[in-house]
Amino acid sequence: MTDQRVSRRRGGLAMGLAVGLLLGAWSSAGAQALRPSAQMQRPVPVAAPATGTVDYIVVLVNSEPVTNFDVRQRLLRVEQQLTSQGQSLPPRGELLPQVLEQLVVERALLQQASELGMRVDEATLLQAEQAIAAQNQLDVEAFRRRVVSEGMDLNRLRNELRNQVLLQRLREREVEARVRVSEADIDNFIRERKSTNLEALEVNLGHVLILVPEGANPARVIELQARAQGVADRLHAGADFAEQARVYSEAPEAASGGQMGLRSVGRLPELFVAATRSLPTGGIAGPLRSAAGFHVLKVIERRQAAAPGLSVTQSRARHILLRPGAQLSQADALARLTQYRQQIASGQANFEALARQYSQDGSAREGGDLGWVGPGQFVPEFEQAMNALRPGEMSQPLVSRFGVHLIRLDERRQAVLSDREQRELARDMVREQKSEDALKAWSEDVRGRAFVEQREAPQL
């Protein structure tokens, strides 16, 4: 097993820069609005670090404040997450109570973690930052500069990231470690799956997003629409979709060629589903307007998914891994792999030979061969780049938390799982469902035991 085979569930946090922190993980304790206290008190002013204006306490959770600034920041992140996915935004009057409740539950859980003596050290926090930076094809320093350039407070972001790592550890300790899956549970799960028709349409869409800033004037909107129309026109004329996405798209998947990956239609925005429903594979839709901006879509692949537990898409790829360090900077590693790629593409060098000679991974002696692997066996940034390739294609050099890679996809196949593999997959799925149910019950219990006092309605 090479270093790269890290399960998604056991890997580091996966957090796109455009999306921000891992939102919603702790919102299952309920989305009802907090009841105000019998006598509303005057706002208690505290310093608002990002704006320099006077802030005030919205709610106390066991005497710990949640401020109006906290609510505003979280609401903006949730809205940004929804719009980047092409989803329409609910009215703020509906979204605000859910965001406030999310913060209340989060505070109560963090307090429990503190009471249990749980801490996140600097080395762990740096690991989480490296994971986020890698998914954005950046090193840590470049990631921090980008955070600052986009107007975010770096210390505040790191503190929130520390909290998310702490919450994940708390969940593992209090919930996941106590979940048990019996052989009878697995038998029942497989029996139910076999008796139910679970076939569903899956679609892999290419996505180019041209963002429209909030409050943009009509002339600016027309200019951005023309930019999106230009992308659509070039695609109709035969332009390479991945190149158009990398150059023009502002969606999170732009760096990987704009591919959203195979998803059931139920996991796609209704706007996307309606626009592509009657298109053939290779068809282009758009520009489409949403609250986020203008979208251009391409139907890359469409298929009927097999019932879960029966088959899985496997890939066989090779890679060359260079690990930046004292003797090799990340920029030099990228440049060296770019040179290798050019040599291979021109026929001057052989991928397998270069992997044997230069790769710093355990797969080097096999010419970089990673063998047949299924979903979830690689870290997300590596798997996303590999999934965007067609057999025989090479990726551009990419950064992961392990180093810098050059990937070539050799083959892809649909594999029927053995009985043992089906039971292992069923075990994972049952455990995941039980964990979600246990998490909901546990977080509701923690929330119910917390003393919550609302001081003042948030002002946005």
Integer Cα distance of 253 and 206 in angstroms = 9
Integer Cα distance of 55 and 47 in angstroms = 6
Given a contact cutoff of 8 angstroms between Cβ atoms, the answer to whether 379 and 289 are in contact is no
Given a contact cutoff of 8 angstroms between Cβ atoms, the answer to whether 43 and 455 are in contact is yes
pLDDT band at 9 (very low <50, low <70, confident <90, very high): very low
Find where tokens 């969940």 sit: 171
Burial class (CB in 10 A: 0-12, 13-18, 19+), 292: buried
Q: What is the pLDDT of residue 195?
A: 54
Selection from 318, 315, 294, 292 nearest residue 229 by Cα: 294
Q: List domains and CATH numbers for the chain.
A: 27-174 (1.10.4030.10), 202-305 (3.10.50.40), 311-416 (3.10.50.40)
Task: Encode 280-291: b = buried (16+ Cβ within 10 Å), e = exposed.
Answer: eeeebbbbbebe
Q: Take residue 13 and report the two structure tokens written for it.
A: 């946090």
pLDDT band at 343 (very low <50, low <70, confident <90, very high): very high
Please tell me which residue, 434 or 302, carries the higher pLDDT value: 434
Cis amide prior to 252 (ω within 30 degrees): no
Q: What is the pLDDT of residue 304?
A: 58
Given a contact cutoff of 8 angstroms between Cβ atoms, the answer to whether 65 and 57 are in contact is yes
Instruction: Please give the full DSSP string across 343-404, using - where no structure is assigned.
Output: HHHTTSS-HHHHHHHH--SGGGGGTTEEEEE-TTSS-HHHHHHHHTPPTT-BPPPEEETTEE
CA angle 97, 251, 24 (to 5 degrees): 25
Q: What is the pLDDT of residues 386-429, one digit of tens each?
A: 998 999 999 999 888 788 999 999 999 887 777 787 788 888 88
Q: What is the pLDDT of residues 316-340, one digit of tens each?
A: 999 999 998 888 888 889 999 999 9
Q: What is the pLDDT of residue 226?
A: 92
Q: What is the pLDDT of residue 173?
A: 87
Bridging pattern class, strands 403-416 and 45-47 = unpaired
Query: What type of residue is 333?
Result: A
Given a contact cutoff of 8 angstroms between Cβ atoms, the answer to whether 27 and 105 are in contact is yes
- pLDDT of 199 over the 80 cut: no
Please tell me which residue, 441 or 25, carries the higher pLDDT value: 441
Q: What is the pLDDT of residue 295?
A: 92
Q: Take residue 325 and report the two structure tokens written for it.
A: 């360090």
Selection from 136, 167, 141 nearest residue 154 by Cα: 141
Q: What is the pLDDT of residue 130?
A: 79
| pTM score | 0.52
pLDDT band at 12 (very low <50, low <70, confident <90, very high): very low
Q: What is the pLDDT of residue 327?
A: 86
Distances, alpha carbon 97 to alpha carbons 41, 71, 93, 297, in Å: 19, 10, 7, 34
What are residue 294's phi and psi, to 5 degrees? Answer: -110, 135
Please tell me which residue, 408 or 26, carries the higher pLDDT value: 408
Q: What is the pLDDT of residues 224-264, one digit of tens each?
A: 999 999 999 999 988 889 888 888 888 878 877 888 888 77
Q: What is the pLDDT of residues 49-63, one digit of tens each?
A: 444 446 899 899 998
* Percentages (nearest 5) of helix, strand, coil residues in the chain: 45, 20, 35
Tally of residues, the chain: 460
Selection from 190, 196, 198 nearest residue 422 by Cα: 190
Q: What is the pLDDT of residue 363?
A: 93
Alpha helix (H) ranges present in 116-240? 122-135, 140-149, 154-174, 183-194, 218-236
Edge-to-edge strands, sheet with 369-373? 369-373, 311-322, 403-416, 398-400
Alpha helix (H) ranges present in 87-139? 92-115, 122-135
- What pairs with residue 299 in β-bridges? 205
Q: What is the pLDDT of residue 305?
A: 53
Selection from 21, 133, 121, 18 nearest residue 401 by Cα: 133
Distance between terminal CA atoms of the chain? 51
- pLDDT of 2 over the 60 cut: no
Q: Which helix (H) or strand (E) covers residue 19, if one does?
A: none
- pLDDT of 435 over the 90 cut: no
Instruction: Please give the full DSSP string across 271-325, using - where no structure is assigned.
Output: HHHHHHTTPPTT-EEEEEE-SSEEEEEEEEEEEEEPPTTTEEEEEEEEEEEE--S
Average pLDDT over residues 274-283: 86
Q: What is the pLDDT of residue 168?
A: 86
C-beta atoms surrounding 357 within 10 Å: 12
Integer Cα distance of 109 and 447 in angstroms = 8
Integer Cα distance of 327 and 338 in angstroms = 18
Query: What type of residue is 87?
Result: Q
Distances, alpha carbon 438 to alpha carbons 180, 262, 434, 445, in Å: 11, 29, 6, 11
Q: What is the pLDDT of residue 29?
A: 31
Mean pLDDT of the chain: 79
Q: What is the pLDDT of residue 127?
A: 81
List own/partner pairs for 353-358 with CB under 8 A and 24 or more apart. 354/320, 355/318, 355/319, 355/320, 358/320, 358/322
Q: What is the pLDDT of residues 129-184, one digit of tens each?
A: 877 777 676 778 888 888 888 887 888 888 888 988 888 888 888 888 788 999 99
Q: Which of 17-21, 207-211, 400-404 has the highest mean pLDDT?
A: 207-211
Task: Please count the helices (runs of H) and the strands (runs of E) in the chain.
Answer: 13, 12
Q: What is the pLDDT of residues 87-118, one digit of tens each?
A: 777 888 888 888 889 899 999 999 989 988 99
DSSP 394: B
Computed on alpha carbons and rounded to an integer, the radius of gyration of the chain in Å comes to: 24
